[in-house]
Chain A
Amino acid sequence: MTNAVEAAWAALDELADPEIPVISLRDLGILRDVHQGPDGLEVVITPTYSGCPAMGQIEDDVRSTLKKAGISARVVTQLAPAWTTDWMSDAGKEKLRAYGIAPPHRTPAGSNVVRFISKPASAEAVPCPHCGSADTIETSHFGSTACKALYKCRACQEPFDYFKPY
């Protein structure tokens, strides 16, 4: 790694997600790469959901953080490979749990559409981030942001968000 690349990583390391400020863009897997491109330094980010309204904010945040650190770089948005919650770091998942959001399970491998059924018999339980109980139910497929679903814990009665595997 060149010094410029290292400096950019260091500057962006703690930059938080605008919607879930306890987790960094790096932990979320949105910040993909920093490298020397043909016209200087390039910072590569990838969108989460196609319609995530935070993407514009994220790009602005990355730009202004770099500027504040005196680093000149181009921000490049890259679609492929498509972002997946599997890229979330273990540290990031732990931060989500501590914040009260159940972190995502791993995405099912090779899911086939035709054999796709609404509720797989062996669905993994989503443990409650508050009390740890596995006795939870999904109350809504969609939650406060595109990336979350709404759950309720039957042990402690608390509602909570589940970060959906994507």
Chain B
Amino acid sequence: MRAAIDYLLHLADNALVLGQRNAEWCGHGPILEEDIALSNVSLDLIGQARLLYQLVARLKGGNTSEDKLAYFRDAHQFRNYTLLELPHHGPLSGYAHSSMDYGTTIVRNFLYSALMALLWEALEKSADAELAAIAAKSLKEVRYHLRHSRDWLVRLGDGTDESHARAQAAVDHLFPYTAEFWADSPAEEAAIKAGVGVDLQTLKADWNAIVDAAFAEATLQRPTVAGYVPEGKLGRHSEHLGFLLAEMQSLARAHPNGNW
């Protein structure tokens, strides 16, 4: 049994885009240990993306390769959650300018890791043996990412007035984007039907339990979410993905087939 390419790309693009985002902290971390931590998390995420892209490349055949999939597709061909492509700060208006905010980074990593810890665990039982093998590896890594981001969520939320206010602002900004987790895309529906994918509805109660327990410990308020549902996994992205891809892809596109 084989997972459809769109489903695998959704999982791969999630990992790559967040891996690239978090890598922006490399050399700029708030403290040395966190600089190293975020780089390590990125390394895991990009490693997971590589395994999935390699699988897609084998399925597609021809001259498709992991590099082609990562560097030579445009924003509308990416299937990642919109949440993962957003910059490391809240919304801006007019000509406002902002630097990166670690609270935003931590909240996003926490919300995503909590989902993926459950999803990879469920995908270990996928009918696609190769996807199940990747899930088993990724699960070990994401559990650790969850521990890291949860610890920092509590430290920031239950910290000083300033750290609490920034963590809460990040939660208020990012939480609505999690609505996308629970709206099945056609690729997900097909994967569920084929037994290779997982119905996220079955994970929702557990995700809520992880989030609510952590928020309570971090003294953060969970916002109510209603209305807009992002559609990044359908290829309809925010304006931020294009900039992220431009930075990530420019070298490979300037020197196609280059080796280094």
Q: Which residues of A contact B (CB under 8 A)?
A: 47, 49-53, 79-84, 111, 113-114, 116, 118, 139-144, 146, 150, 164, 166
Contacts and interface: CB of A to CB of B under 8 A. Distances in A.
B129 A50 contact: no
Given A50-B138, A114-B206, A141 B144 contact: yes
B118 A50 contact: no
Contacts of A51: 42-48, 50
Interface in B182-225: 206, 209-210
Contacts of B165: none
Contacts of A79: 51, 130, 133-134, 136-137
B209 A50 contact: no
Contact of B33 (A52, A82, A84, A142): A142
For the complex of A and B, the 6 pairs showing the least CB-CB separation, nearest first, are A51-B47, A50-B47, A80-B133, A51-B43, A140-B33, A79-B133
B37 interface: yes
A71 B129 CA distance: 32
Nearest to A85: B140
A116 B143 contact: yes
Interface size class of B (residues with CB under 8 A): 35 or more
Given A49-B44, A79-B134, A113 B143 contact: yes
B134 A140 contact: no
Most interface-central of A49, A113, A166 (chain B CB within 10 A): A113
Contact of B132 (A80, A114, A118, A142): A80
Interface stretch (B77-85, B147-155, B239-247): B147-155
A50 B37 CA distance: 16
Nearest to A52: B47
B206 A113 contact: yes
B147 A50 contact: no
A117 to B, nearest CB: 8
Nearest to A80: B133
A53 to B, nearest CB: 7
Contacts of A143: 36
A118 B151 contact: yes
A164 B140 CA distance: 11
Nearest to B205: A114
B48 A141 contact: no
Most interface-central of A81, A82, A84 (chain B CB within 10 A): A82
B146 interface: yes
Contact of A118 (B40, B48, B147, B209): B147
